[in-house]
Structure 1
Amino acid sequence: MARPRILVVGAGFAGVECVRRLERSLAPGEADIALVTPFSYQLYLPLLPQVASGVLTPQSVAVSLRRSRRHRTRIVPGGAIGVDTKAKVCVVRKITDEIVNEPYDYIVLAAGSVTRTFDIPGLIDNARGMKTLAEAAYIRDHVISQLDLADASHDEEERASRLQFVVVGGGYAGTETAASLQLLTSNAVKHYPRLDPALIKWHLIDIAPKLMPELGDKLGVTALEILRKRGIEVSLGVSVAEAGPDKVTFTDGRVLPCRTLIWTAGVAASPLVATLDAETVRGRLAVTPEMSLPGADGVFALGDAAAVPDLAKGDGAICPPTAQHAMRQGRKLADNIIASLRGRPMQSYVHKDLGLVVDLGGRDAVSKPLGIELKGMPAQAAARGYHWAALRTNVAKTRVMTNWLLNAIAGDDFVRTGFQARKQATLRDFEYTDAYLTPEEIRAHTAGADARG
């Protein structure tokens, strides 16, 4: 009898934790495990702002998927672009652009999320996100190049536009990104004698009335004070009305000369979700507390791609798209798949949120672990300690700790690598949001597919 095939889509926190649990808990001959991912690493997303600011190298947050004592998962190098739940086939575009069918008995949809955008003129073409390793590396190069070009320019208008930076999104990602990159430019400008530090302006804007409301009023105000003390102009209740190549228009009527717009205003579930033609909640797949997709045999979803009921909160709440929930969902879902294989009942996912840590760079941080409000160095210790402990391999932990120590002692050289220097890459280029198939195209690809291979 053929072994059951478990196909996991996505190598984020949810997918990797699921695969690791399956490898540890299943006997070698009990099932075949495959993981669909374009890259052979797990990206430690919370530390991307530190990659953009040069505190960490890109390799430090790219945790190898092959460094596992029990590694026996087949890695399919590509991205899932459609799922036919009736034929039990996942359509995959490999990194060679070849399209192949991957049949499954159980499929775990942990495809994560993409940057959420709106119908704002110029946004898609002129904004950059902070969701991928390539975007973080690109933004670092871009910010330093603006200093280089402003320093060389004799045109005051050009110089002004190159030295204004806008970050949209007052949540975790946007706040850390603005704080980290402001430190980068404030340190780098010391090496540009022709540039007046007062000309460099960072703006953080958000349509919400509060900064990081999940921290609570007290710590949210503390974070706001830290940013403003550093010279970051924070505007709340404001968003972008239009984005151009050299200016940004705000919804309050201000027009800012600017060539750097970083968009972190939330996330949306992976476009893969739309290929299933299933019920969604706020764009995420509606699943049961056991993370199964109703009406689709052997289909499970979790993490940012799924609206997993938050039973700890109740009242119809769904789990927020955080690494904390994704990791625990991955482990619980692996247990449920194993229970299903062995004829045992599945269990509901329940987890009480443990809090939030926010690293603002240098000695600044605000954190709320287990409901305890911290700021300054204690909060910084909690934030970095949490991230360091959450890194999956000793190699990654060593690299990150070494980078932190090196940066604290020696600082940064403010070197740009020339990554995509001559191409203004868009959000679509980095996140491949236009790569997915329609339901009709999926059925055409899977027509006649043998679900048992």
Structure 2
Amino acid sequence: MSKHVLIVGGGYVGMYTALRLRRKMRRQLKSGELKITIVAPESYMTYQPFLPEAAAGNLEPRHVVVSLRRVLPGVTILNGRVTAIDHAGRRATVEVVERVDAEPYEVRTIDYDTLVFCPGSISRTLPIPGLAECGIGFKTVAEAIFLRNHVLRQLDIAASSTHPESRRQALTFVFVGGGYAGVEALAELEDMARDALRYYPGLEADSMRWVLVEASDKILPEVGEDMGKWTVEALRRRGIEVRLQTLLKSAENREIVLSDGERFGAGTLVWTAGVKPNPLVKKTDLPLDDRDRVKATAELTVDGVDDAFTAGDIAAVPDLTEPGKFCAPNAQHAVRQAKVLGDNLAAALRGRELKAYKHSYAGSVASLGLHKGVAQIYGVKLRGVPAWFMHRTYHLSRLPTLNRKARVTADWTLALFFSREVVSLGTLQRPREEFELATKKY
């Protein structure tokens, strides 16, 4: 009798688990004894550590994503959103939609035998006035490319405007959140904008204002306290304002109000202040902890539930290297958990013993722009060019498929001989605008 494995989510865990399971059980998949289905909104996996470089124009956007259909032949890819899971009945409800706010084209019910639940996380937001209207996140390739076009567009506006206040607002960029996403996005985009100013004779680097707002007293805690302090000093030497122990209180009408009382206009507001589990976790009958994470065992099964596995950002996976703690929601754990999950899933289907996930934290690397970085790997601290080179080398080794590795390497090689493009293609987000104007009745 054929077994059907349903994987909810096409991110790190979903794709790597499917890859592992497909290799382990290639014969069963080919004979029809096993069926694997991935349900995800997009038909690709985004390698998020390279999003800042894509936003800065160092990498082609298509080269930081991996096609699920291409790397998983024989696996059914269903593009849609799971809206409910009845694991007791081994049934999932899926909506096929074009946009998050659109009506579903079709609602489907999928029966399965074994569940791999890994829908990932979403941005953790707060009820701050104006945030929903003018803020932008930094979790997807669409957001990264939008930000690139938006920043370049702000330079165009400033160069074309004669009104001092309009120029000042266009050239003010605010990033909220001092983790990897916020620091790397700000550093790469500031580096890109500074490089682009050579083509804007009327603008000076000193006329731009880049502000990083962080609620705690440090940034990049993963690289260690001393390297985090060095990063703050390095950013400030570049003229970037790092506001520690500061909160965003309001952003209405693009007027930024900080907890220290300062008010100023900003044309750009990027929100990277943490993540939270996908809301889908509350629409399942799986057990959750007090932080809305799925309760998991060290073997990456759902605690107390048969035929269910989980890993990644939404899973409370025990950290066996630090008893009493859980694995951090980052890519380093997600990729390694997926390999163990794939092996355990294959073992479970064959009635064999499962293995526990155990991984000591290797360290962290962060890019701060071209030829700039910070890293702490197995206790070794690096900064500047060596850290930047380590960042690229490490993530290139983790990027799936030889195809993507070659294309990313080609992008970096070409960048050695040619300068970055500084063209804003913001109209890509509004492709029907010109046609609608042409059809407008006067």
How far 1:347 sits from its partner (Å)? Answer: 2.1
Once residues 264 and 407 of structure 1 are traced to their aligned partners in structure 2, the CA distance between those partners, rounded to angstroms, is 28
Partner of 2:36: 33
Partner of 1:113: 121
Partner of 1:282: 291
Which of 223, 239, 247 is equivalent to 2:247?
A: 239
Partner of 1:255: 263
Partner of 1:85: 87
The SS at the match of 1:261 is: strand
Which of 271, 294, 308 is equivalent to 2:279?
A: 271
Does 2:306 match 1:304? Answer: no
Partner of 1:17: 16
Retained in 2: the 8 A contact 1:37–1:79? yes
Give TM-score, length-normalised by structure 2: 0.92
Q: Which runs of 4+ in 1 moved over 6 A?
A: none
How do residues 132-147 of structure 1 correspond to structure 2 at under 5 angstroms? Answer: 132-147=140-155
How do residues 410-425 of structure 1 correspond to structure 2 at under 5 angstroms? Answer: 410-417=418-425, 418-421=427-430
Retained in 2: the 8 A contact 1:10–1:112? yes
How far 1:352 sits from its partner (Å)? Answer: 0.8
How do residues 42-441 of structure 1 correspond to structure 2 at under 5 angstroms? Answer: 42-68=45-71, 71-95=73-97, 97=104, 98-277=106-285, 278-314=287-323, 316-417=324-425, 418-421=427-430
Once residues 149 and 373 of structure 1 are traced to their aligned partners in structure 2, the CA distance between those partners, rounded to angstroms, is 41
Q: Deviations over 1:355-390 (max 9, x none)?
A: 111011111111112221111222112110011111
The SS at the match of 2:417 is: helix
How far 1:189 sits from its partner (Å)? Answer: 1.6
Once residues 252 and 274 of structure 1 are traced to their aligned partners in structure 2, the CA distance between those partners, rounded to angstroms, is 37
In structure 2, runs of 5+ residues without a counterpart are 99-103, 433-442
Amino acid at match of 1:58: P
Q: Compare 316-325 and 187-196 and name the one that shifted more.
A: 187-196
How far 1:22 sits from its partner (Å)? Answer: 0.4
Once residues 180 and 405 of structure 1 are traced to their aligned partners in structure 2, the CA distance between those partners, rounded to angstroms, is 18
How far 1:135 sits from its partner (Å)? Answer: 0.6
Amino acid at match of 1:92: V
Give TM-score, length-normalised by structure 1: 0.89
Once residues 290 and 57 of structure 2 are traced to their aligned partners in structure 1, the CA distance between those partners, rounded to angstroms, is 37
Once residues 121 and 51 of structure 1 are traced to their aligned partners in structure 2, the CA distance between those partners, rounded to angstroms, is 30
Partner of 2:440: none
The SS at the match of 1:66 is: helix
Retained in 2: the 8 A contact 1:273–1:285? yes
Give the number of aligned pairs.
421
Once residues 236 and 421 of structure 1 are traced to their aligned partners in structure 2, the CA distance between those partners, rounded to angstroms, is 36
Once residues 140 and 133 of structure 2 are traced to their aligned partners in structure 1, the CA distance between those partners, rounded to angstroms, is 17
Once residues 390 and 163 of structure 2 are traced to their aligned partners in structure 1, the CA distance between those partners, rounded to angstroms, is 45
The SS at the match of 1:318 is: coil
Higher relative contact order structure (alpha carbons within 8 Å, sequence separation ≥ 6): 1
Once residues 289 and 134 of structure 2 are traced to their aligned partners in structure 1, the CA distance between those partners, rounded to angstroms, is 30
Once residues 95 and 354 of structure 1 are traced to their aligned partners in structure 2, the CA distance between those partners, rounded to angstroms, is 39
Percent identity of the aligned residues? 39
How far 1:311 sits from its partner (Å)? Answer: 0.9
**How much is the aligned-residue C-alpha RMSD, in angstroms?**
1.7
Retained in 1: the 8 A contact 2:81–2:95? yes
Retained in 1: the 8 A contact 2:120–2:277? yes
Once residues 62 and 296 of structure 2 are traced to their aligned partners in structure 1, the CA distance between those partners, rounded to angstroms, is 35
The SS at the match of 2:394 is: helix
Partner of 2:4: 5
Q: Deviations over 1:374-427 (max 9, x none)?
A: 11222112110011111111111111111122223212121122232599xxxx
Once residues 258 and 390 of structure 2 are traced to their aligned partners in structure 1, the CA distance between those partners, rounded to angstroms, is 36
Amino acid at match of 1:297: D
Once residues 366 and 230 of structure 1 are traced to their aligned partners in structure 2, the CA distance between those partners, rounded to angstroms, is 15
Once residues 292 and 422 of structure 2 are traced to their aligned partners in structure 1, the CA distance between those partners, rounded to angstroms, is 40
In structure 1, runs of 5+ residues without a counterpart are 424-453
Partner of 1:442: none
Partner of 1:431: none
Once residues 431 and 397 of structure 2 are traced to their aligned partners in structure 1, the CA distance between those partners, rounded to angstroms, is 38
How far 1:297 sits from its partner (Å)? Answer: 2.9
The SS at the match of 1:145 is: helix
How far 1:198 sits from its partner (Å)? Answer: 1.4
Retained in 1: the 8 A contact 2:69–2:77? no
The SS at the match of 2:428 is: coil
Retained in 2: the 8 A contact 1:161–1:247? no
Retained in 2: the 8 A contact 1:53–1:180? yes
Classify 1:422/1:339 alpha carbon distance in 2 versus 1 (closer, same or farther; 3 Å): closer
Once residues 159 and 431 of structure 2 are traced to their aligned partners in structure 1, the CA distance between those partners, rounded to angstroms, is 19
Amino acid at match of 2:337: Q
Amino acid at match of 2:95: R
Q: Deviations over 1:40-79 (max 9, x none)?
A: 22100111111111111110101122333x7211111122
How far 1:295 sits from its partner (Å)? Answer: 4.1
How far 1:136 sits from its partner (Å)? Answer: 0.7
Once residues 238 and 135 of structure 1 are traced to their aligned partners in structure 2, the CA distance between those partners, rounded to angstroms, is 25
